[in-house]
Amino acid sequence: MKLNILALMVALSLGAMLTCGTILRAQDKKEDKPQPKPEAKEGQKSTSRPDRAKIYAERLHLNDGQTEKIRPLLDEEYKKIMEMRLNQNLSRDEKAAKYKEIREDTNVKAEPILTTEQFERFVKDRTPVTPKPTTPASAPAPTTAPPPK
């Protein structure tokens, strides 16, 4: 009888701990509200895409005049690429060819704005990296088992 009472008390204690612990954790939980997006400051675009002209200005060490001349080229390129991506009438190969054509057109327009070194870096940064084809590793020579005796 003593054992049954002790077992009952232990069971009730564990049940109370589990219940109270869950309630306490629920009260501590903070509300997960998404942080509001920062408002665009005056003179800044409200888009979430990065300012590519600023990025290239830093990478290529462009002066203010070069940066302002290249900005419309990059914006125009972005618009054309987005239009091309949304065009579902084009096949994958046609989109790839159109993408290459848009990039080359921007390169041609950017060349007179940039110095030779800047232009070389500009083209290099914009050239997609193509993975090298992998050659299958040579398989080990098959071993032949000695004939049974």
Residues 95 and 80: beta-carbon distance below 8 Å: no
pLDDT mean over 99-119: 93
* Higher-confidence position of 112 and 21: 112
pLDDT for the residue numbered 5:
82
pLDDT exceeding 70 applies to what percent of the chain? 66
User: Lowest-confidence range among 44-53, 59-68, 90-99?
Assistant: 44-53
Residue 26's Cα: distance from chain center in Å? 35
* pLDDT at residue 43 greater than cutoff 60: no
- pLDDT tier, 120 (very low <50, low <70, confident <90, very high otherwise): very high
Which sign, positive or negative, has the C-alpha torsion 49, 51, 53, 55? Answer: negative
User: Lowest-confidence range among 58-62, 90-94, 105-109, 140-144?
Assistant: 140-144
* Higher-confidence position of 50 and 99: 99
pLDDT digits (tens, 9 = 90+) for 52-87: 889 989 999 999 999 999 999 999 999 999 999 998
pLDDT mean over 106-131: 88
Residue with tokens 């004939």: 147
Q: Where are the domains of the chain?
A: 52-126
